[in-house]
Amino acid sequence: MNGDESTVSITVVGASGDLAKKKIFPALFALYYEGFLPKHFTIFGYARSKMTDAELRNMFFSLGFRENCDEKMDEFLKRCFYHSGQYDSQENFAALDKKLMAHEVIRTLPENIYRIRKVTCKKMHYSSASSGNGWTRVIVEKPFGRDSESSAAMTKSLKQYLKEDQIFRIDHYLGKELVENLSVLRFSNLIFEPLWSRQYIRNVQLIFSEDFGTEGRGGYFSFLYRHLNIMQNHLLQILALFAMETPVSLDAEDTRNEKVKVLRSMRPLRLEDVVTGQYKSHTKGGVSYPAYTDDKTVSKDSLTPTFAAAALFIDNARWDGIRVQFRHVPDLDRATNELVIRVQPDEAIYLKINNKVPGYSKEIPDAYERLLLDAIEGERRLFIRSDELDAAWALFTPLLKELEEKKIIPEYYPYGSRGPVGAHYLAARYNVRWGDLGVEQ
């Protein structure tokens, strides 16, 4: 961008929703507070809810972004506006475009206008609020479909109005400092690269753990876990970064090319290599824990998994014969040599040998801040390309269809435990044991 002569117009579509309130607007204010936004910028909230500019600003202010920042907050709020409209209305987006142009013309020349849009839905008239002479970038929030067919339909819809380099599919896990540094860990430390293959690594385990239940979010969990969305999005992306060959450079397209190659060399998931579970109620230490189906937002006969473990295989020269194991929660203790790359909870990289080497952790910027800034600057390395998304869904779609058609009943396990017994049998079948990365209640 061209310094003080440029302006960025940011439209947050779905501005009245929880994601915007909890993640997007705090991230935008943090970027402004730290001086990362250009001198001239405008933020528009767009949603179906009726709201005035003043009401939007009051909503921001009530979120309590940071302490002792009243002056900065006042300046930030002066740049924030609201426009109400339907998501599938070309007329409403055209009206938004007129408001954007009114603010942009005051500040700068049209060829230096950069429009960033944060969207969460499919049927939108992108062309009706695109910059005519400047840059338009659309940040698309997951989920990116529920299978190969729906994902392809979403991509087709996007590309009806946009080019590939204008689309930024956001997976906030890729914005975490630790994940972003995974490539640097591999390719900038000669101690690791010679060992990074099937000759020295027997299996790779990616473990995602959370210490809470549905808490009234049954609809969210139903989609997320029913479609194994965490595996298909977060964990598969981390795996691709872990397993890819050395890219020509760490530039966006070179890195994403290597990720796609890894995904295309993997076998589609088979039902016999997957274990699903659902937590049940139990009492421990005098404390009662609920079942998944005890939540009022969940159907009593729900088959939605709250746990999933899977074994995948990468059929290429570097990794042939290696089992990649995905798991929702951790399990058995063990003493062995391990390089632990922990994304959640408490991000850390540490080496486990005969005596554990202390790890490190530090306070890091929110992942959304990092990714929004990348989108503003046009850095695409941590965003998901269309062919990469296609390859990822190709691995999971056959399994998802089989789970749906056969109505597979998940194996029950106690709330707060490390998952169902079936996960142990899955690991034992391939002569491995789960690493211990979490704390059992």
Two tokens at 393?
Answer: 């869904």
Of the candidates 122, 221, 153, 163, the one whose C-alpha atom is nearest the C-alpha of residue 389 is: 153
Dihedral sign of CA atoms 383, 389, 391, 395 in order: positive
User: In the beta sheet, which residues pair with residue 137?
Assistant: 116
d(CA 27, CA 174): 15
Task: In whole angstroms, give the CA distance from residue 303 to residue 408.
Answer: 8
CB neighbours of residue 41 within 10 Å: 22
Residue 295 near residue 218, CB atoms below 8 Å = yes
Cβ contact 87:129 at 8 Å: no
Residue 299 phi/psi, 5° resolution?
Answer: -65, 140
- Identify which of 395, 439, 436, 420 has the alpha carbon closest to the alpha carbon of residue 307: 420
Beta strands in 256-408 (DSSP E): 274-280, 282-284, 287-289, 307-313, 323-327, 338-342, 348-352
For residues 93 and 10, give the distance between their C-alpha atoms in angstroms, rounded to a whole number. 14
Strand pairing report for 307-313 and 203-207: unpaired
Type of residue numbered 283 = T
> Which residues on adjacent β-strands are paired with residue 266?
314
Query: Residue 325: which of 433, 197, 244 has the closest Cα?
Result: 433
State both tokens at 305: 């998994």
Helix axes 25-33, 367-377, angle to 10 degrees: 70
Q: In the structure encoding, which two tokens stand for residue 19, read together? A: 């994601």
- Which residue out of 234, 282, 328, 424 is catalytically annotated? 234
Round to whole Å and give the CA distance between 73 and 51: 20
CA distance 95 to 102: 11
Catalytic annotation on 103?
Answer: no
Cα–Cα distance for residue pair 317/321, rounded to 1 Å: 9
Structure tokens at 35: 């001086």
Under 8 Å between Cβ of 116 and 28: no
Instruction: Compute the distance between CA of residue 426 and CA of residue 428 in angstroms, rounded to an integer.
Output: 6
Known catalytic residues are 234
